[in-house]
């Protein structure tokens, strides 16, 4: 009950001070209150929308991270390359030649 008494006391003091203010200052205070209340109501309907969009974005991110990714397959598996190297050690030299040839862009 003490809080209610304090509220009543504070309200009475503020109303006394407001009555002592000039009409112009009271008008400006009223306009300020109306603007604050208007912005408060605009924020109330935007907040759920923004929260919903943020939740949807997080959900999409989580699904994207947990979704199993299929890695692109390499035309030749590494095991095949190892077998080729073991059978023909000059294969690496051939690869270097083909890389060089590819880098020439047909200017040779």
pLDDT for position 78: 66
CA separation, residue 13 to residues 6, 7, 10, 17 (Å): 11, 10, 5, 6
Question: Max alpha carbon distance in the chain (Å)?
Answer: 103
pTM for the structure as a whole:
0.32
pLDDT, tens only, 47-100? 778 888 899 999 999 988 887 776 666 555 667 667 766 766 676 667 778 788
46 vs 21 pLDDT, higher one: 21
Residue 14 and residue 8: Cα distance in Å, rounded?
10
> Per-domain residue ranges for the chain?
2-66, 70-108
Contact 84, 91 (CB under 8 A): yes
pLDDT for position 9: 92
């Amino acid at each position: 009950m003490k809080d209610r008494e304090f509220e009543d006391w504070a309200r009475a003091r503020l109303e006394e001070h407001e009555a002592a203010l000039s009409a112009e200052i009271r008008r400006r205070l009223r306009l300020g209150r109306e603007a604050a209340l208007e912005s408060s109501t605009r924020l109330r309907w935007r907040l759920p929308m923004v929260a919903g969009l943020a939740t949807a974005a997080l959900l999409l991110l989580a699904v994207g991270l947990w979704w199993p990714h299929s890695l692109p397959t390499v035309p030749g598996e590494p095991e095949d390359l190892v077998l080729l190297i073991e059978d023909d050690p000059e294969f690496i030299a051939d690869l270097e030649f083909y890389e060089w040839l590819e880098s020439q862009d047909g200017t040779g």
